[in-house]
Amino acid sequence: MTKTKKSALMDRAMVLRAVKDSFVKLAPRTQAQNPVMLLVYISAILTTALWGFSLFGIGDAPSGYTLAIAVILWFTVLFANFAEAIAEGRGKAQADALRASKREVSARKIPSAERKDEGCECPSSQLRKGDIVLVRAGETIPADGEVIEGAASVDESAITGESAPVIREAGGDRSAVTGGTTVLSDWMVVQVTSDPGQSFLDKMIAMVEGAARKKTPNEIALQIFLVALSIIFILVTLSLYTYSLFSANQAGIENPTSVTTLVALLVCLAPTTIGALLSAIGIAGMSRLNQANVLAMSGRAIEAAGDVDILMLDKTGTITLGNRQAHAFIPVDGTAPEELADAAQLSSLADETPEGRSVVVLAKERFGLRGRSLSDKGMTFVPFTAKTRMSGVDFGGSEICKGAAEAVKAYVLAGGGRYSEACEQVVRQISEQGGTPLVVAKDHRVLGVIHLKDIIKKGVKERFADLRKMGIKTIMITGDNPLTAAAIAAEAGVDDFLAEATPEGKLKMIRDFQAGGHLVAMTGDGTNDAPALAQADVAVAMNSGTQAAKEAGNMVDLDSSPTKLIDIVRIGKQLLMTRGSLTTFSIANDVAKYFAIIPALFTGLYPGLAALNIMGLHSPQSAILSAIIYNALIIIALIPLALKGVKYREVSAGKLLSQNLLIYGLGGIVAPFVFIKLIDLLLVLLGLA
């Protein structure tokens, strides 16, 4: 998925497309999906009809005034449509790009992995779940599937936007492949896991385009609340008209309150601002998630991400860098530190693992040992094997090895050497600190121990502290023993840990937290993670993982980055904050509108109400026009905030509520007073009031 930081409002093509869609969305069926804006839509139709009648002398308001109200109401509807259309714009652009990458390709369908030489060519559209295909270098993978034999380098840039190839292979947690990606080298046998129209690419297109977006429970609840408010204001408006009619009859004068004015009052009092932006806020939240290269399989997932209070995170790659690094050389039995470092470096020259390279680097940095290379003569390297659990080098008539403590102990004792209690104690201390001890021996004599340490990612501890301020508990999941896990958890600053984690242990922990009323988020990539992912409220599956994990999760991280879970929570919370803030602003807006419209309605009947005209508006008609114009323009003004979202801050819920009430509550009260007065002055200046 191609990423872009360009704002939707700065993209000319996107804006033009949104303007066009704004008129398309005037269809009654589309308007009926938003009850609050449906009220404005009906009001626009009604005032347009009243203007038509006024041309023939039928009506209770001047035709120019009625036309102005009708035009402003139509613009209000169009502005709401534009807000939704511009929010959908980036998703539609992404969907177009994905749709362009989806094409019919030829597939070599084979009977089984053992009969690769048999089979026939067929279009990818004819493949069904369970079919087996052979894909070679340079060919496009025809459908989603699992690699059941072979391994290959795959270009997934059409899906992830990342140009670096990835390895997909049979077995393990990197066996899932996506249709539309390209094999760069080697070959593999793939078993198809989806039918036509149900592929991962099809689901991506539907989600980013918004076609599959369903309103979330919180969004539905808020909409019900807004509808209830609108019904109350309809009853209030009808009551005001009846009261005005009665008062005018009692006074023996013509009713000064026209139907057009009452319609304008209803639109101003109804929560039209949040009603117009509610859908755009939800779509923009999904878009921000898409820009982070995360595909949410439902709108409920991102909303749940904003409510989670338990984060279960893998240690490797999330909290630590994923590769242990040499931290110190600890000599024993009177060995000189330089001798230990020299032997450790020699035994690691051919070790291309990150741990091996870090031993070489540490020896250079601490003791200045340089100049050696694999080209030096007389070196015979002994590779690491799972059986020996050691590696080393034969050099200058000596045997040097390094490896797990038990393996080196057996090697030393077998050669008649001595494995001291001092060495045992160093190994035990390193393990208790959460490190990995590698014992170094030369000619069956122990020289010392290399301390390999899990390197905590920079800034992780501070991020966990921020999450704690928000009331989110962090739990580290690791296969390490409890002592090692406890040491790493303490250094990283997580709140709790699950050591020697098993699929059953993860599932039980999630269920226990949920039974206590918590919402749990976790990541996973393997088939053994699928049960826990299916149980979690927010389950982020790695795109590089197995098909089972992706089907169990409700989000897929296309970058396969374990740290993405923290960003997802931030995006979810930002969505909830934005919706809450703009709802507060919208409702607070109504307070100022009362002071603009109520005096305009009844000053003709009760001149004393002129005292409520604290804004000093020029006339009843200019007051109504100013309020209704402001009501329309504020929607356009708030579109950038709805798209970008309210700035995220790691603070407690109570402090966040106080800040929002101060900024958006007080701001929502003050803004209409200022801008309605400015619009009124402009109308007077232009001679329209």
What residue numbers does the annotated binding site for ATP cover? 351, 355, 384-391, 402
Q: By C-alpha distance, which of 303, 166, 292 is closest to 556?
A: 292
Neighbours of 453 (CB within 10 A): 20
Tokens of 403: 């490896």
Neighbours of 347 (CB within 10 A): 29
Among the options 155, 314, 537, 590, which is catalytic? Answer: 314
Query: Crossing angle of helices 620-644/259-269, nearest 10°?
Result: 30
Residue 631 in contact with residue 268, Cβ under 8 Å?
yes
CA dihedral 243, 244, 245, 248 (to 10 degrees): 120
* Separation between Cα atoms, residue 549 and residue 554, nearest integer Å: 10
Q: By C-alpha distance, which of 449, 463, 374 is closest to 648?
A: 463
* Known binding-site residue numbers for Mg(2+): 525, 529
- Give residue for tokens 């630590």: 320
Could you list the beta-strand ranges (E) of 10-116.
106-110
* Separation between Cα atoms, residue 643 and residue 296, nearest integer Å: 18
Active site residue 131: no
Q: By C-alpha distance, which of 678, 556, 594, 662 is closest to 302?
A: 556
Residue 441 in contact with residue 405, Cβ under 8 Å?
no
Residue 122 in contact with residue 106, Cβ under 8 Å?
yes
Could you list the beta-strand ranges (E) of 42-112.
106-110
All residues at 6 or more sequence positions from 252 whose CB lies less than 8 Å from its CB, including other chains: none
* Known binding-site residue numbers: 351, 355, 384-391, 402, 525, 529
The CA-atom distances, in angstroms, between 401 and each of 91, 296, 324, 341, 595 are 57, 49, 19, 12, 86
- Residue numbers annotated as active site: 314
